[in-house]
């Protein structure tokens, strides 16, 4: 397995016991995760871009939170409608989406 060029982490408010509760979960984080997965597949970036759901980043008031590594870019208040822009501008274009950065 090759290391991915980018790894996208989406807070879905997962807890160690498997429960999903919290702010990000209630603000469509599951849809956000699904949208990233679909965009990655549609763009043929499966080997270059990974996406994972995470537990809380402790920035609930700014959620849903998305973090892109290795760039260490943190996005806040991300909606499913923002996924295409993040993919276009940041992942494929190399420039973070300033309006969503924390």
Structural domains present in the chain: 6-95 (3.40.30.10)
Average pLDDT value for residue range 29-52:
95
Taking only the tens place, the pLDDT of each residue in 52-98 is: 999 888 888 898 999 999 999 999 999 999 999 999 999 999 999 99
pLDDT for 9-25, tens place per residue? 999 886 666 565 667 76
DSSP-assigned states of every residue in 21-61: -SHHHHTTHHHHHHHHHHHHHHTT-TTTEEEEEEE--S-GG
The reported pTM is 0.90
Q: How confident is the model at residue 38 (pLDDT cuts 50, 70, 90)?
A: very high
Provide CB contacts within 8 A for 76, sequence distance 6+. 59, 62, 63, 64, 65, 100, 101, 102
């Amino acid at each position: 397995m090759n290391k991915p060029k980018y790894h996208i982490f989406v807070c879905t408010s997962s807890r160690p016991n498997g429960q999903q509760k919290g702010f990000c979960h209630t603000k469509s984080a599951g849809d956000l995760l699904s949208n990233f997965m679909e965009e990655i597949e549609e763009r043929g970036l499966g080997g270059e871009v990974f996406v994972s759901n995470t537990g809380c980043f402790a920035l609930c008031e700014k959620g849903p939170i998305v973090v892109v590594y290795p760039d260490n870019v943190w996005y806040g208040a991300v909606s499913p409608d923002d996924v295409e822009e993040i993919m276009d501008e940041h992942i494929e274009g190399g420039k973070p989406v300033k309006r969503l950065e924390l």
